[in-house]
Chains A and B, each alone.
Chain A
Amino acid sequence: MTSLFKPLYAALLCVAVLVACGKPTDGPKVKTAKLENGLEIIVIPDFRADVVTHMLWYRVGSADEPKGKSGIAHFFEHLMFRGTENIPPGEFSKTVARLGGQDNAFTSYDYTAYFQRIAKNKLGKMMEMEAERMQKLIIQDEIVAIERDVILEERSSRVDGRPASLLSEQLRHRLHKGTAYEVPVIGWRAEIEKLNAVDATNFYRRYYAPDNAVLVVAGAVTLDEVLALAQTHYGDLQPSGQPRARRIAATDLTVAGFDQAEVLADARVRQPSWQRLYRLPQYSSTDKRQFAAADVLAEILGGGLTGRLYQTLVVAQKLAVNVGAYSDSSRLDNGEFMIYAVPAPQVEFAELARAIDDEITTMQTAEVGADILRRAKRQLVSDLVFARDSQQSMANIFGSAAMIGLSPDDVLAWVDEIDAVTANDVRRAAQAFLKTRHSVTGHLTGEMETGGQP
């Protein structure tokens, strides 16, 4: 292992796909490139502090897991910290810490990402270690057994001990039934308990290769610096030539049992809550406008205290104490549009749902006023400027977009797409996306309740 900086010239070594895709005004100047072995590179320069965020994103998530092996993607993420040929178990993070950095990793449906935040002059060392564990991980039975216990504890903390999380898990299971997203990212308990070193090894060999990964570096570096270091540390890794298999998203968005609420009554619940998830069509680049309209719709409905839902349900009708909405279409398969509400004391879920449905009907039949549309768009677009304050946020935004096939240009174009949304687009998005039969509704309550209207 060497961490010596080799001054190599980018253009000679790389498939030079340098894209200068900065927006002329507020946008960040994001640069991209690709190594010969397929490793894609995204660099987001930010010279305010002498630190960098180094991330390696793999195009594999829980939705790519083999049947019956739920949780392996996340489990495997944990094992990436537990020893390689040259780094003993537990030493990865300790080395990062000793160099004054922090590290962690996360898993979602469509991706797994590993990152370190550290002084710029340690970037080469981070790449050296990250490259080492891409192909030289050691998977030992004994460590697998301990880490499985850690993950079961994690599941207990995040899900099993929290009624609200249990309900969300069940709702998503129903919403995405028949597709890969029906399985929770952390996995089903009974399946996690059976995961073993063979499962982990198979998973590793299948997915962990440079041509299935994207390197994102945000912070006090230029593309040339990153390219030279990346060539040194990642350049010799062998590509697998096996991109992940295409999954099948649902095209018929109807959800079985949409008219029956999922009720979770649990004595541990003190504060009842209501939520509804709508299944969105798979994101397609040919219909960007509709998805941008969905973002504006969510902002108009559920954006903070000026949102329609808050103004109507909380301020005017006093049926709810809190309410909100968001749209998440940035997924490989079906996205979600979510509305949630905390009912006011003594208010029945059915009454709350009726009032929310009325607001949705209004959005589907009438166009919103110009001032409301302008406010929502401004809020969404200014979020990008605020996001630029954090190099870690920027790395997350461009990295997660790359995982679903969106380039930095696509991400930056989002601002113009939002800007182009009309009141009619918003109304059409409400018609297309907020169909009750595409949804599931959940009731979280402390009392016994027998089924009910969603």
Chain B
Amino acid sequence: MFGYRLLLSLCLFVMVSVTAYAAPPVQSVKWRDMEAWLVTDNSLPLITMKLAWRGGTASDPVDKTGLSMLMARLMNEGAGDLPAQAFQQAMADNAISLSFSASRDEMTGTLRCLSRYRAVCYKLLRLAVTTPRFDAEAVTRMKREQATAILRNQQNPRSIANQALMKLAFDAHAYGRVGNGTQDSLAAITQSDLRQHYQAMLARDNLHLAVVGDIGRAELRRVMRDVFSTLPAHNKMPQIAPAKIANGPQTRHIDRAGPQTSVVFAQQGLGHHHPLFFADFVMNSILGGSGFSSRLTEQVREARGLAYGVYSFTSNFQKAALWNGSVASDNTTAQEAVNVIRAEMRRMADEPVSAPRLATAKTYLTGNYALRFDSGAKIAGQLLGVQLNGWPISYFKTRNQNINAVTQADVQRAAKLLSPHRLLVVSVGGTSITLD
């Protein structure tokens, strides 16, 4: 009767979640040339691992876009002497969950198992990572699944808008492509393409590992040895060229039936290693990154009722950084919503943030940090994220200090990098947006 897989699908949230302190002690565990970050916690009989290899959809050949995504879908569809069905059955029989996904800059795997089944869990992980089969049957089946994913993304207004925005921002650069590829590029992918891509990507020098739960250092070292040591030392992925973001103002409109226009916008962002990174982070939290507390929510939603959700956020890739945002508003009010957002961007740049408002933003951001570490799954995600951002293991301790060090002047400096007159804007719905 009782679904522990809670069905909240019928529930309506007031608002889709806000961004999310005190991180648990993170250890660095090394085995030969590999490193993993570990948080040991024996209070539950669970182990969660996140693993990622640099080289994602942006490294797909231009006529074989969708390759990394397809490879990710196939990584748990048969390995070693276990064809797809046998592999899936072995996972199900031992309550193991292992899945992979690809984003622009990496392929990520997530493994979750009960510690009582650890032996078979590590064995399946080893098989998947070292000897994936890419059998013809599974390739055909996963191509079909991916083809439907391409279609589904073409019927959701937000994903239609986002795809167009990335194209507008990155033009011909690989970051502008659709990760799932096109029906044609997907059809062109062969088993041999998949094997070559696998051999080029899965190596030790581009591997990132995050491990949490009922596992200690010695056991983790054994896993590193047994699972990953037979991978090649060096990956052979192509370098992604630095991406130049298109100059605004530019607008694109895609007509679509319905009461509402979905609007997404972007401009050049700062990136993880910019001196104003933390100032920008705090600035964006005040402007549109903190859900109910943000100025955009205050002005667009609470004061005017123009939208249910309005957000701004940063998207950082290996070779590019964007500042972006989104809103969906009735066709009759979408332009007004965008005008209010741009006015708030200008106010952010023109008026220094007050000391109390800055203090509030800091207590929110620093206090909230602990909420990112209240489950094994979340901790593993944090450990991997910090590694992929190229930050040191000390980040977990220094992050809140860095936020607290941000001054009013820093926030304004970051805000002056916003350019409401030079936005890239894509609208999907009944109203095309103009930037005056």
- The chain A residues found within 8 Å of chain B, CB to CB, are 26, 47-51, 74, 77-78, 81-82, 89-90, 93-94, 97-109, 117-119, 145-154, 156-158, 160-164, 185-186, 219, 267-271, 283, 288, 291-292, 294-295, 303-306, 311, 314-315, 321-322, 326-330, 342, 344-345, 374-375, 378-380, 382-393, 396-397, 400-401, 406, 410-411, 414, 417
Contacts and interface: CB of A to CB of B under 8 A. Distances in A.
Contact of B92 (A119, A267, A306): A306
A81 B141 contact: no
A89 B374 CA distance: 30
B136 interface: no
A158 to B, nearest CB: 7
B126 to A, nearest CB: 20
A294 B302 CA distance: 44
Interface stretch (B15-23, B189-197, B347-355, B415-423): B15-23
Contact of A81 (B112, B259, B292, B306): B292
Interface in B124-159: 137, 141, 144-145, 147-148, 151-152, 154-157
B363 A330 contact: no
A280 B80 CA distance: 43
B145 A322 contact: yes
A216 to B, nearest CB: 13
Given A154-B12, A163-B155, A295-B1, A268 B256 contact: yes
A145 B328 contact: no
Contacts of B206: none
A389 B114 contact: no
Contacts of B292: 81, 90, 93-94, 97, 103
A102 B141 contact: no
A90 B298 contact: yes
A317 to B, nearest CB: 12
A108 B11 contact: yes
A196 B176 CA distance: 46
A87 to B, nearest CB: 13
A49 B370 contact: yes
Contacts of A107: 11-12
A106 B328 contact: no
15 contacts: A49-B374, A51-B374, A100-B368, A102-B18, A104-B15, A106-B14, A151-B308, A153-B307, A162-B156, A271-B148, A382-B114, A391-B374, A391-B375, A396-B8, A400-B6
Given A306-B92, A396-B6, A97 B305 contact: no
A382 B84 CA distance: 22
A396 B14 CA distance: 16
B260 interface: yes
A385 B45 contact: yes
B290 interface: yes
B375 A389 contact: yes
A269 B2 contact: no
B62 interface: no
Interface string B355-381: 000001001101111110111111000
Give the most central of B15, B20, B24, B329: most A CB within 10 Å. B15
Interface in B371-394: 371, 373-378
Contact of B307 (A93, A150, A329): A150
Contacts of A326: 3, 5, 7
Contact of A328 (B3, B328, B373, B374): B3
B33 interface: no
A149 B257 CA distance: 20
A389 B44 contact: yes
Contact-size category for B: 35 or more
Interface string B246-266: 000000000011111010000
A100 B364 contact: yes
A386 B112 contact: yes
Contact of A185 (B11, B260, B429): B11
Contact of B260 (A47, A104, A161): A161
Nearest to A410: B2
A106 B17 contact: no
Interface in B283-306: 290-293, 298, 301-306
Contacts of B218: none
Contact of B155 (A154, A269, A342): A269
Interface of B: 1-8, 10-15, 17-18, 20-22, 24, 41, 43-46, 48, 84-85, 88-89, 92-93, 95, 112, 114, 137, 141, 144-145, 147-148, 151-152, 154-157, 256-260, 262, 290-293, 298, 301-309, 328-330, 360, 363-364, 366-371, 373-378, 429
Contacts of A380: 4
Contacts of A104: 13-15, 17-18
**Can you list the 9 inter-chain pairs with the closest CB atoms, starting with the nearest?**
A100-B367, A149-B305, A93-B292, A382-B95, A291-B1, A271-B151, A154-B308, A146-B305, A156-B260
A135 B135 CA distance: 63
Contact of B46 (A151, A154, A161, A386): A386
B21 A150 contact: no
B14 A77 contact: yes
Given A94-B293, A98-B360, A411 B375 contact: no
A375 B93 contact: yes
B252 to A, nearest CB: 18
Contacts of A393: 6
Contact of A156 (B44, B258, B304): B258
A179 B291 CA distance: 36
Contact of B309 (A157, A390, A406): A157
A146 B303 contact: yes
Given A98-B360, A99-B363, A102-B368, A147 B305 contact: yes
B341 to A, nearest CB: 15
A315 B360 contact: no
Nearest to A26: B45
A427 B370 CA distance: 47
A292 B3 CA distance: 10
A214 to B, nearest CB: 16
Contacts of B21: 100, 119
